[in-house]
Chains A and B, each alone.
With several copies, the nearest count.
Chain A
Amino acid sequence: MYVVRPVEAGDIAALEALAAVTMPGVHTLPKTRDKIEQAVERSIASFAAQVDIPSEESYLFVLESLAERKIVGTAAIFASAGSNGTYFSFRNDVIQQVSRDLNISHSVHALTLCSELTAYSQLSSFYVEEALQERPEAALLSRSRLLFAVQQPQRFGDRFFVPLAGVTDEHGGSPFWDALGRKFFKMDFLDAERVIGGARNRTLIVELMPHYPVYVPLLPGDAQAAMGQIHPSGELAFNLLTEEGFEADEYIDIFDGGPILQAHKHALRTFSSSLTLRVRTGDGQVPEGPLVNYAIANNAGPAFRAVTIASPELEGCEAVALSPELQDILRVAEGDSVTCVRV
């Protein structure tokens, strides 16, 4: 059995061990003990805080294997991407060029530095152990952040985005960076990421990055090919998020050209089709008929818990049957309400 819950102070050592094995990348967990401690403290404070307007809160969830008492995954959500500045990205623009004499018109693809994602809530730090990647727990972990947002909308923006790492070569070089960022930063991709700490909301971005649109046809072929392409390590996240309703066409990362998935909450399945149901105690029998996987979360704020169950279709039902064991894990009792969504 696996459960998703907010990170706790006791998880720090486990996260440190996890950070050592996760791939080097910019949108994953912090790497050093100090940074991990900070992230955990910030998350605990965020869950505990009274929030009216989303600000600097950052919520970190872990996926725990109850059998092994072991942390096997992480996922985070920032209340507001630009709480420490302005979150910069490239917007995919289409510029119309029309020639009356030649009676032709072209659409030209251009990248414009923009700050539109600043007030969005940002999903990040998604990681699950290899062995679980094909299982519903991966989806549960990714979606728990949104279940929490459904329950506590005042803590988040109306829109969400997720930057996914772009493609790099075996030496850590990025063809997109080489064609663009390098010309302005005068340094290697990994050096730039180190110097900026993976952030996209620093003053030096305004100072160095181009203010005029970048015409895509002028980029070298390998840089164009890298636009919107994900690093292989991000495929699972990409698939889970596009199923959820996230769209990938509008923004890309200013450094490596990786895709930035985004959506209005109305377009997300967790928001549009989650159900609030009463808990009733199941009889422990496997129900008849076809079963589907659901993510079920309690509505307990800082004591948030979510699990997956296989259940008959819940649409149109008033209650969901949970075994006493699951009720324990979710910290709910008969009659309590839980939030359910198919995974």
Chain B
Amino acid sequence: MLVVRAINENDLDALYSMATQVGTGMTTLKPDMKMLGDRLATACASFAETIPPEQRDYMFVMEDTSNGRIAGVCAIKGAVGLTEPFYNYRIGTLVHSSRELNVFTKMDTLYLSNDLTGSSELCSLFLHPDYRQGYNGKLLSKSRFLFIAQFPHLFTQKIIAEMRGYQAEDGSSPFYEGLGRHFFKMDFHHVDDLTALGKKSFIAELMPRQPLYIDYLPKEAQEVVGQVHKSTAPARRLLEQEGLHYEGYVDIFDAGPVLQARVSELRAMRDSELAVVAPDTDMTHACAPAHPEPTLVSNTVLKDFRMIITQATPVNGEIDLSTQDLQLLRCHMGDTVRTLPLNVRKNNV
């Protein structure tokens, strides 16, 4: 059985072993014992609330309780850009018009910005290939929204998620070739490796700081602004269903979109409910939907936050969870849990 839970001190080795399998796509999960150890320590301090909210890094692991393996990992950073500047390009609009010539030109413009400074970031999502099936990916990704819905006071700013940008078949980035390349004189993979160290501010230092008309870029670069990497499209859809939106911020390097939301507009904030764990009665049974949908359920304990998927459905503020579910959540009858339908309800309008 799979449970997503707050990471703890004992997870380091398993985390390292998983990091060795991540590959080059993810910059924040490198198989480096020192780096991982530091990150783990920060995560533990975050759940223990011994460091200020903006320094926190809530890291979750998906554990396969049948064999103790770590099947996946994901995280929420309390705030970005407070120790090192966090840069994006923001896409704005400028209009040039002359009545005399009857010309009206509306142009998209890239502004180098630190606007997202202080936002909380969804990051470091990785699911081991052995577990890429069923609802596992959704459980892992969406568990973070349940956490935010349970502890919204920890997240006072925007929530953001950086999406990997479009790459051509050969792994090159048309946006980089059309823009960054002229200012770096390094090839894409070299810069990619540098950014893999997690330091992107040097990019901004060398990138043009004055606003740029997108029209100055080659067609191929213009076309991929805000486009995700092919393999990232499902992750993007999933976050959009949860209430995140592309609002015109892109990565300065590959123009991948940043998805963002105010905490209050997250589906989890609107649709998640508290429920008391209670045995099924005839009444609740009668009121239960005919075709139950899978439901995300979590306990309500910050230090040992745990989430699962269940087929049980909350009815009138109560939910009947199996003994196994309760064990995974470390909950008991009478405890309060938070529930959220795994899938988005279709609007009935």
A interface vs B, CB < 8 Å?
Answer: 95, 97-102, 104, 106, 108, 110, 183-187, 195, 203-204, 206-215, 217-219
CB pair A99–B205 under 8 Å, yes or no, is yes
- Answer whether residue B101 sits at the interface, using C-beta atoms and an 8 A cutoff: yes
CB pair A186–B183 under 8 Å, yes or no, is no
CB pair B96–A207 under 8 Å, yes or no, is yes
Tell me the chain B residues, 173-208 only, with Cβ under 8 Å from chain A: 179, 182-183, 185, 194, 199, 201-202, 205-208
Give the interface segment out of B64-72, B211-219, B280-288, B321-329. Answer: B211-219
Given contacts A183-B105, A195-B101, contact A206 B213 (CB under 8 A): no
A99 to B183, CA, bound (A): 12
In the assembled complex, which residues on chain B have CB atoms less than 8 Å from the CB atom of A108? 183, 208
CB pair B205–A97 under 8 Å, yes or no, is yes
Query: 5 tightest A-B contacts by CB?
Result: A217-B182, A207-B98, A99-B205, A101-B202, A99-B202
In the assembled complex, which residues on chain B have CB atoms less than 8 Å from the CB atom of A184? 96, 103, 105, 107
Given contacts A184-B96, A204-B101, A207-B97, contact A215 B216 (CB under 8 A): yes
CB pair B208–A186 under 8 Å, yes or no, is no
A147 to B51, CA, bound (A): 65
Task: Please give the distance in Å from A282's CB to the nearest CB on chain B.
Answer: 59
In the assembled complex, which residues on chain A have CB atoms less than 8 Å from the CB atom of B209? 95, 211
CB pair A206–B100 under 8 Å, yes or no, is no
- The answer, among B107, B205, B216, for a CB contact under 8 Å with A219, is B216
A184 to B213, CA, bound (A): 11
CB pair A98–B98 under 8 Å, yes or no, is no
Residues of B within 8 Å of A, CB-based: how many? Answer: 29
In the assembled complex, which residues on chain A have CB atoms less than 8 Å from the CB atom of B100? 100, 203-204, 207
In the assembled complex, which residues on chain B have CB atoms less than 8 Å from the CB atom of A195? 101
- Answer whether residue B210 sits at the interface, using C-beta atoms and an 8 A cutoff: yes
CB pair B107–A183 under 8 Å, yes or no, is yes
New contact pairs (5) apart from A208-B97, A218-B217, CB-CB < 8 Å: A102-B202, A106-B183, A110-B210, A183-B216, A207-B98
Task: Please give the distance in Å from B43's CB to the nearest CB on chain A.
Answer: 26
Given contacts A101-B201, A186-B103, contact A217 B183 (CB under 8 A): yes
CB pair A208–B103 under 8 Å, yes or no, is yes
CB pair B101–A218 under 8 Å, yes or no, is no
Task: Please give the distance in Å from B275's CB to the nearest CB on chain A.
Answer: 50
A212 to B96, CA, bound (A): 12
Task: Please give the distance in Å from A103's CB to the nearest CB on chain B.
Answer: 10
A218 to B212, CA, bound (A): 10
- The answer, among B96, B103, B199, for a CB contact under 8 Å with A101, is B199
In the assembled complex, which residues on chain B have CB atoms less than 8 Å from the CB atom of A98? 205
In the assembled complex, which residues on chain B have CB atoms less than 8 Å from the CB atom of A207? 96-98, 100, 205
CB pair B101–A208 under 8 Å, yes or no, is yes
Interface of B is mostly: mixed
CB pair A212–B103 under 8 Å, yes or no, is no
A40 to B212, CA, bound (A): 44
In the assembled complex, which residues on chain A have CB atoms less than 8 Å from the CB atom of B215? 183
In the assembled complex, which residues on chain B have CB atoms less than 8 Å from the CB atom of A206? 205
A278 to B101, CA, bound (A): 56
A294 to B57, CA, bound (A): 74
In the assembled complex, which residues on chain A have CB atoms less than 8 Å from the CB atom of B217? 218
Q: Which of chain B's residues has its CB closest to A207's CB?
A: B98
A208 to B104, CA, bound (A): 9
A211 to B114, CA, bound (A): 14
Q: Which of chain A's residues has its CB closest to B201's CB?
A: A101
A185 to B207, CA, bound (A): 22
CB pair B105–A214 under 8 Å, yes or no, is no
Given contacts A99-B202, A110-B210, contact A218 B182 (CB under 8 A): yes
Given contacts A97-B206, A108-B183, A184-B105, contact A214 B99 (CB under 8 A): no
CB pair A185–B212 under 8 Å, yes or no, is no
In the assembled complex, which residues on chain B have CB atoms less than 8 Å from the CB atom of A214? 216
- The answer, among A208, A217, A219, for a CB contact under 8 Å with B105, is A208
Q: List 9 A-B contacts (CB under 8 A).
A: A97-B183, A101-B199, A101-B205, A184-B103, A204-B101, A206-B205, A207-B96, A207-B100, A208-B105
A215 to B183, CA, bound (A): 10
Task: Please give the distance in Å from A196's CB to the nearest CB on chain B.
Answer: 9
**In the complex, per-residue mask of B105-132: 1 if CB is within 8 Å of any chain A CB, else 0:** 1010000000000000000000000000
A242 to B100, CA, bound (A): 38
Q: Which of chain B's residues has its CB closest to A97's CB?
A: B206
A104 to B199, CA, bound (A): 15
Given contacts A97-B205, A99-B205, A186-B105, contact A212 B211 (CB under 8 A): yes
A219 to B217, CA, bound (A): 8
In the assembled complex, which residues on chain B have CB atoms less than 8 Å from the CB atom of A100? 99-100, 202, 205
In the assembled complex, which residues on chain A have CB atoms less than 8 Å from the CB atom of B182? 215, 217-218
Task: Please give the distance in Å from A154's CB to the nearest CB on chain B.
Answer: 31
CB pair A212–B210 under 8 Å, yes or no, is yes
A163 to B103, CA, bound (A): 26
In the assembled complex, which residues on chain B have CB atoms less than 8 Å from the CB atom of A183? 105, 107, 213, 215-216
